[in-house]
Structure 1
Amino acid sequence: MFTGIVQGIAQVAEITDKEGLRSFTLEFPPGFCQDLEIGASVACDGVCLTVTALKGDTRADFDVMQQSLNLTTLGQLRPGSRINVERAAKDGAEIGGHPLSGHVDFMATVEGIRRPANNHVIRIAVPAPWMRYIFPKGYIAVNGASLTVAEAGRNADGSGWFEVWLIPETLRMTTFGDKDEGAPVHIEIERQTQVMVDTVRDAVAERLGTLMPALRQFAKERGLDLGE
């Protein structure tokens, strides 16, 4: 488990392609690797990876299988790329953000960036059907960082957008300042919200039963979206 509080920025030092996977050597900030062991988990831009080798005081290797390369931005990393990193939380650790599994749900896209005084606002476009789990003032994990949704908008097809406001300290400790419009990002939704939304949707579907086709037709004729 992770807390969503990014502990530093790592840089890709080396990449080695092997049959069915790719091995990354990451260079970490000083002190990050203290007591780190082979087999330990590290969230890399929100993706939980396992340490496969230790190289000195600041470097470690990670193997990423082909499916993970295809489903995340890890396959786009090159030597010199920078990523957010966090070590797995220990028992009793303070949860400064919210509990994360390190399992990315989907990739989204930076749709817009605004820079009001001493702030950095990122608008992120969300594909359908994931917008159903995102609400203003709720938690969201973007590239492994626990953030609060400031504003959100929904489209009739189940897609939408949300905005997060970042203070200078967050920009200093993460790679968000590197992101431009069009950049892909990893999203992990908040699990309690997902469970609650899915439970309510299933309960409503079960209670309505055979009435659903008629209700869908009724809604369609009036330009309404039952999913929303």
Structure 2
Amino acid sequence: MFTGIVQGMAQVESCQADGRNMRLQIRFPQGIMLNQQLGASVAINGVCLTVAKMEADILTFDVIDTTLNLTNIGTLTPGTQVNFERAAKMGDEIGGHVMSGHIMTTVTVRQVEQVKESYHLRFAVDNPEVDARRYLFDKGYVGLNGASLTISDIGDDWIEVSLIPETLRLTTFGLLKEGDKVNLEIDAHTQATVDTVERVLKQRGIVLP
């Protein structure tokens, strides 16, 4: 389980193909992974990955082909910066919202707008294979590259978030440009509520537009 409060940025050290899978090495800020354990979970750009090897500040993860196809992990190259969060512990403050690290789809940066201290990112939500739009609401929660964010504006095929300077400092959002792919995770409670309502309405013969 994760909270969506990104703890900082790490750098991809290497990406090695392993059949259809990938062995991913990431260098973390000095000392941030002290007392980490093999088999522990770490969110990389919001994707829950398992620690397979540890060497000082470099951790190794094995990424299966399904994850590579579904997320932006497959696009990473050495030197790329990623968001990370260690798994939450019992009793930790949930400053964002509960996240599983299970990505639904990717969205594409459509527009980057900065006016003084105001920073806005607009994402196209237009994957025909995975319709995430029915789970997205104005002022609702969304997980983007592992960060718990609030949707500040929404259209038929896009969402927009507004970022404060502290979020830009701690995450890779300030590095994004138009066309970049970003991982999207839907809030589990929202997903369960929407699916339940749709199922009940269908049973009653009510079809939503």
Q: TM-score over 0.5 for the alignment?
A: yes
CA distance in 2, matches of 1:199, 1:15: 40
Q: 1:149 aligns to what SS in structure 2?
A: strand
> Is 2:28 aligned against 1:31?
no
CA distance in 2, matches of 1:17, 1:37: 24
Cα-Cα RMSD: 1.2
**Residue in structure 2 matched with residue 148 of structure 1 by the alignment:** 150
Unaligned segments of structure 2, at least 5 residues: none
> Is 2:78 aligned against 1:76?
no
Deviations 1:10-49 (A, max 9, x none): 1011222222321111000122111101100000000000
Residues 111-190 of structure 1 mapped to structure 2, 5 A cutoff: 111-127=110-126, 129-154=131-156, 160-190=157-187
> Is 2:105 aligned against 1:103?
no
> Is 2:66 aligned against 1:64?
no
Deviations 1:73-123 (A, max 9, x none): 111111101100000000111000000000000111111111122021001
CA distance in 2, matches of 1:164, 1:66: 30
**Residue in structure 2 matched with residue 43 of structure 1 by the alignment:** 43
Q: What amino acid maps onto 1:197 in structure 2?
A: V
Unaligned segments of structure 1, at least 5 residues: 155-159, 213-225
TM-score (norm 1): 0.87
Which structure: larger Rg? 1
Instruction: Say which is worse superposed, 91-100 or 124-133, in terms of deviation.
Output: 124-133
CA distance in 1, matches of 2:98, 2:204: 32
Number of aligned residue pairs: 206
Give 1:130 deviation, angstroms. Answer: 1.2
Q: What amino acid maps onto 1:207 in structure 2?
A: R
Q: 1:3 aligns to what SS in structure 2?
A: coil
Percentage of identical aligned residues:
47
Give 1:208 deviation, angstroms. Answer: 1.4
CA distance in 2, matches of 1:21, 1:197: 33
Give 1:150 deviation, angstroms. Answer: 0.6
Q: 1:75 aligns to what SS in structure 2?
A: helix
Residues 79-90 of structure 1 mapped to structure 2, 5 A cutoff: 79-90=78-89
CA distance in 1, matches of 2:16, 2:137: 40
